[in-house]
Structure 1
Amino acid sequence: MSLDIQHDEEYQQFTAFLNNEEIGELAYATPEPDIMDFQHTFIEKEYRGKGLADELIKHGLDYAAENGFQVRATCKAVASYLERNPG
């Protein structure tokens, strides 16, 4: 099960699609020009427990790293992901 993840800079979120259906989002803020604060992760109930939130979070974190952002994890799911996947 692979997600199509689209980044919307205007709305500051990554949106996850599965078979062209929107199933989740990862929202962030940029409180400072070099900081990306991940604030909210959501996956539709019927798709939870399949690792899709982790895939979405990884995509967002990869984007932050590739673009020189420091990461802040206000979202508990992102903080938990970072604890499980240090470095």
Structure 2
Amino acid sequence: MAIQHDAAGNRFTSGPAAQPAELVYTLPEPGVIDFVHTFVPEAQRGQGLAEQLAQAGLAYARQQHLRVRTSCEFMQAYVQKNREQGVGKERHADEGSSSPA
């Protein structure tokens, strides 16, 4: 499925407009993106949509040269498992560590 970036709504979406899968982010300070929530409707689960949303969000962060925060537990785990994508994390919501993107 195609991933849409809704910049005005600070989210990436996929699927039907009535019930999209989504990755929501905030821009808490200049140069930082914080992925705060991932949701995939039950009927769409098991199709890799969360991973596709994560890839789109991290690609956007790279393109925009943003440091990444992963307040969302799914995104935190995804980033840890996929370091080879070349994206670091600024810090987890429950940690104080920092590293550049």
Instruction: Give the TM-score category using the shorter length.
Output: 0.7 to 0.9
Q: Aligned partners of 1:75, 1:31: CA distance in 2, in Å?
A: 14
Partner of 1:44: 41
Count of residue pairs brought into register by the alignment: 82
What is the match of residue 3 of structure 2? 5
Question: Match of 2:3, SS?
Answer: strand
Task: Give CA deviations for 1:25-63 in whole Å, capped at 9, x if unaligned.
Answer: 110000011000000001111221221100111111001
Distance across 2 between alignment mates of 1:24 and 1:61 = 16
Gaps of 5+ in 1: none
Q: CA RMSD in A?
A: 1.1
Larger radius of gyration: 2
Partner of 1:56: 53
Deviation of 1:6 after TM superposition, in Å, equals 1.1
Structure with more contact order per residue of length (Cα contacts < 8 Å, sep ≥ 6): 1
Q: Identify the structure with the greater strand proportion.
A: 1
